[in-house]
Structure 1
Amino acid sequence: MNKKKVPSMVKDQQLIKKRREQMVKGAVNLFKEKGFHRTTTREIAKESGFSIGTLYEYIGSKEDVLYLVCDAIYEEVRDRLKQYLEMEDTSGIDRLKLAIASYFKVIDEMQDEVLVMYQEAKSLPKEALPYVLQKEIEMTVMIEKIIKDCVEAKLLNLSEQETKMLAHNILVQGHMWTFRRWALQKLYTIEEYTEIQLKQMLLGIVQNEEDR
């Protein structure tokens, strides 16, 4: 799946990267507060710290900003998750638990960005949406691979379908921390939420293996 090419009148790649990072940060704040459709490009420019003319030197449309937001968030979530997983030398079920806990931690750290992305991704241009959705699949595959390692080590007895479903469930449970934060975050810390989710998602599976 090819990455969408966002037009820019500027050739300096470092400057493009810097300005677009400013745009993403400014746009997330506005989209969270007002939504994509009610936010103007002029407001995005102001929130980003430059003029509307400068904004259009780095993008072609407001939809380009939304695409950059979604792309940047997925990249950041993936990179942080990989970083957390590389910090500890674990294997088997312990590595799966670490992956889940690390993923939930990343979502907690980036909950505003994740919430904006899922609320507004539907407004992406149709040519850009498949690429962004593919990023979601790649995140799921990262988790799925760790589950498969447990299956291959005979620590879990899951079919391919069950493995894929568990990976998707883990991703959705992470998202739920943001979608229902108005309720969940009044009841639990992220550590408590993670512990309960781990117990509900994995304890039954592991227990079944012990009973075989």
Structure 2
Amino acid sequence: MSAAGEVKSVVSDPRLVEERRRQIILAAVELFSKEGYHTTTIQQIARRAGTSTGLIYQYFGDKEDVLFLTLKLVIDSYENEIPFRLDGVVHPVERLCTALSAYCGVVDRLRDATVLAYRSTMSLRAERRALIKEGETRTNRLIEACVRDCTTGGFMRPVAEHLLAYQYVMFAHSWALKHWSYRERYALDEYVEEGIQLLVDPFLTAKGRLALASKRARDEVPGADLPVD
């Protein structure tokens, strides 16, 4: 048996493998979301992707491989895109707000796959479930580190950093899980701002509130500097 995180492909060209797998994954997400993972067949995925069943088996061993790489795409997107957005952001309050915004942005782009992760992760074998959990935990630690930088810098009062980080994670995921309700009320940027008011503002010290006010002013007037004290 191959390693839990390995999905073998008959095709050796990495570019083609990535391109074909993405095509198949997009079709699978749509069908898994509408029909359910267990009900959906490889034949249905092939039809939706506009390809043949045999071609799918050149890039995946079985249907679980498709589900695993779909969920891994979500986790990898968190791990890659949030640090990318944080690159060059120095102030702890701005880093926290940027991380929350970036997280929500990834969820927005991968809404169906995010919901699928909640519905179907348990359909993976135990070793693969563990890999998905480990990936999410690494992202959660990144969010937790942003919270810790705020508390140690005196911008946020002492809090249960691990627990608060999970509230940010659940807030981001909720944009996908309850999008049927939120979409009538908020644009994504409005949702993020509401989240900052609910989940960041109340924990800030006077110094932290000043920093957040300066960030908002700078967002409106680019070029203004955040205070560091």
Question: For this structure pair, what is the TM-score category when the shorter chain's length is used for normalisation?
Answer: 0.7 to 0.9
Q: Name 2:105's counterpart in structure 1.
A: 105
Whether 1:178 aligns to 2:176 is: yes
1:79-117: CA deviation from partner (whole Å, max 9, x where unpaired): 22223223x634121221121122212222221221122
1:113-145: CA deviation from partner (whole Å, max 9, x where unpaired): 211222221211222110011111111111111
- CA apart distance, 1:208: 7.5
Q: Which runs of 5+ in 2 are unaligned?
A: 209-229
- CA apart distance, 1:56: 1.1
Q: Secondary structure at the match of 1:128?
A: helix
Q: 1:191 aligns with which of 164, 189, 192?
A: 189
Written as runs of structure 1 = structure 2, the 5 A alignment for 1:24-173 is 24-86=25-87, 89-158=89-158, 162-173=160-171
Percent of residue pairs bearing the same amino acid type = 27
**Alignment RMSD, CA only?**
2.0
8 Å CA contact 2:155, 2:205 repeated in 1: no
Letter in 2 for 1:105: G
8 Å CA contact 2:10, 2:58 repeated in 1: yes
8 Å CA contact 1:157, 1:209 repeated in 2: no
Letter in 1 for 2:180: W
Letter in 2 for 1:177: W
8 Å CA contact 2:4, 2:127 repeated in 1: no
Q: Structure 2 CA distance, aligned partners of 1:174 and 1:135?
A: 16
Letter in 2 for 1:16: V
After TM superposition, the score normalised by the length of structure 1 is: 0.88
Letter in 2 for 1:154: G
8 Å CA contact 2:156, 2:205 repeated in 1: no
Q: Structure 1 CA distance, aligned partners of 2:181 and 2:122?
A: 25
1:12-45: CA deviation from partner (whole Å, max 9, x where unpaired): 3333222212221111111122121111101112
After TM superposition, the score normalised by the length of structure 2 is: 0.82
Q: Which runs of 5+ in 1 are unaligned?
A: none
Q: Secondary structure at the match of 2:126?
A: coil
Length, aligned pairs only: 206
Q: Structure 1 CA distance, aligned partners of 2:83 and 2:30?
A: 26
- CA apart distance, 1:201: 0.9
Letter in 1 for 2:177: F
Q: Name 2:11's counterpart in structure 1.
A: 10
Letter in 2 for 1:92: P
Q: Secondary structure at the match of 2:58?
A: coil
Q: Secondary structure at the match of 2:183?
A: helix
8 Å CA contact 2:157, 2:205 repeated in 1: no
Letter in 1 for 2:152: E
